[in-house]
């Protein structure tokens, strides 16, 4: 099954349909506030906690939306996905719930916790070496051809983007109009879906994407208005190590996103540990990207009502000593 046509851009109507499609399966995740964060940023901040979503990340929304709409014969044959972890887990769990066979192409250096969870959900894992420049998409397409599988890419798919957009839809329903929403960005699925929801439900809201500094392809694409790439960026934000925006996400980002910013790994880890220690929210590095941009002052939020999407919480705890060595001792006081 070929990837979706780049001409079929999703709309807010697709997000509305996705919300109905996933309602019985996905969690309506909580929104958390903090007087400490509000005082630090001089803003009213609302954290949308997708770290509490099923499979530990927002990715479940899109995966379930896409898989649940497959035709019966395709459900029997199964699907193939490629992912460093969160999309892998999401497809693994969604396929388990829907009784759809699934094969997941994962890098051999993906976090062990994400590989273990994907396997526990019953998915078949095919490993590849990204440091040897093996192409995960090419591997997935070959498996699709060989086995008759439907390709479920991590972000460049209308139903994936629509499902991701339901997180911001819920946030705006729960807290009302916002002036600003900050969103982690890898391939741009969550950012695109958020921008579509914000445009429909809060037209005055500015949506800003946040990338790791080492993987700034979307930021460069946004600035130059031409698609830029990056290969194997070295960053703790493993969920944002994508090579580029997609044929679907790029035009949506250009049309509806107000700005893009980046944060370096030290700032990212500092914000992540702050969320752990002061808000008691366990998020993974990629999941803390948007919070880092806010807490580090990369975005001027003074006087604004700000939504911050915490995109996932699948943390590899074995990495904590190395991360602490990068940032120093406890970080909770840094933002006091």
How far apart, in whole angstroms, are the C-alpha atoms of residue 162 and residue 65?
A: 8
Q: What is the DSSP string of 258-308?
A: -EEEEE-HHHHHHHHHHHHHHS-----TGGGHHHHHHHTTSS--TT-EEEE
How far apart, in whole angstroms, are the C-alpha atoms of residue 286 and residue 237?
A: 4
Instruction: Name residue 223's beta-bridge partners.
Output: none
Kind of pairing between the strands at 31-32 and 44-49: antiparallel
**Which distant-in-sequence residues (6+ apart) come within 8 Å of 112 by Cβ?**
316, 318
How far apart, in whole angstroms, are the C-alpha atoms of residue 143 and residue 103?
A: 9
Structural contact between residues 248 and 10, judged by C-beta atoms closer than 8 angstroms: yes
Q: Please give the positions annotated as active site.
A: 59, 84, 211, 215, 217, 311
333, burial (CB in 10 Å: exposed 0-12, middle 13-18, buried 19+): exposed
Closest CA relative to residue 84, chosen from 331, 320, 312, 330: 312
**Which distant-in-sequence residues (6+ apart) come within 8 Å of 269 by Cβ?**
236, 285, 323, 326, 327, 331
Kind and range of the H or E run holding 174: helix 158-175
Sign of the CA dihedral 109, 114, 120, 122? negative
């Amino acid at each position: 099954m070929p990837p979706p046509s780049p001409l079929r851009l999703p709309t807010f109507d697709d997000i509305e349909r996705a919300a109905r499609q996933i309602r019985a399966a996905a969690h309506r995740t909580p929104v958390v506030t903090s007087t400490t964060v509000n005082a630090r940023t001089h803003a009213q901040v609302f954290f949308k906690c997708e770290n509490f979503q099923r499979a530990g990340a927002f990715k479940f929304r899109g995966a379930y939306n896409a898989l649940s709409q497959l035709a019966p014969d395709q459900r029997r044959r199964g699907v193939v996905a490629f992912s460093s972890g969160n999309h892998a887990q999401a497809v693994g769990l969604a396929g388990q719930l829907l009784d759809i066979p699934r094969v997941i192409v994962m890098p051999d250096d993906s976090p062990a916790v994400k590989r273990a969870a994907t396997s526990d959900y019953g998915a078949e894992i095919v490993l590849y070496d990204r440091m040897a420049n093996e192409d995960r998409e090419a591997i997935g397409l070959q498996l699709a051809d060989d086995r008759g599988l439907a390709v479920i890419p991590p972000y460049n798919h209308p139903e994936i983007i629509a499902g991701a957009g339901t997180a911001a839809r819920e946030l705006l329903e729960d807290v009302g109009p916002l002036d600003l929403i900050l969103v982690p960005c890898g391939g741009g699925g969550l950012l695109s879906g958020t921008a579509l929801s914000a445009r429909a439900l809060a037209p005055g809201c500015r949506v800003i994407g946040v990338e790791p500094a080492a993987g700034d392809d979307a930021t460069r694409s946004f600035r130059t208005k031409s698609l830029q790439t990056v290969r194997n960026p070295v960053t703790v934000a493993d969920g944002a190590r994508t090579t580029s925006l997609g044929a679907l996400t790029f035009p949506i980002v250009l049309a509806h996103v107000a700005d893009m910013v980046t944060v370096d790994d030290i700032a990212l880890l500092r914000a992540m540990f702050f969320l752990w220690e002061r808000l008691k929210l366990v998020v993974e590095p990629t999941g803390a990207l948007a919070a880092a941009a806010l807490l580090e002052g990369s975005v001027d939020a003074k006087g604004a009502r700000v939504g911050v999407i915490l995109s996932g919480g699948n943390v590899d705890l074995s990495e904590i000593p190395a991360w602490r060595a990068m940032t120093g001792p406890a970080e909770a006081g840094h933002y006091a």
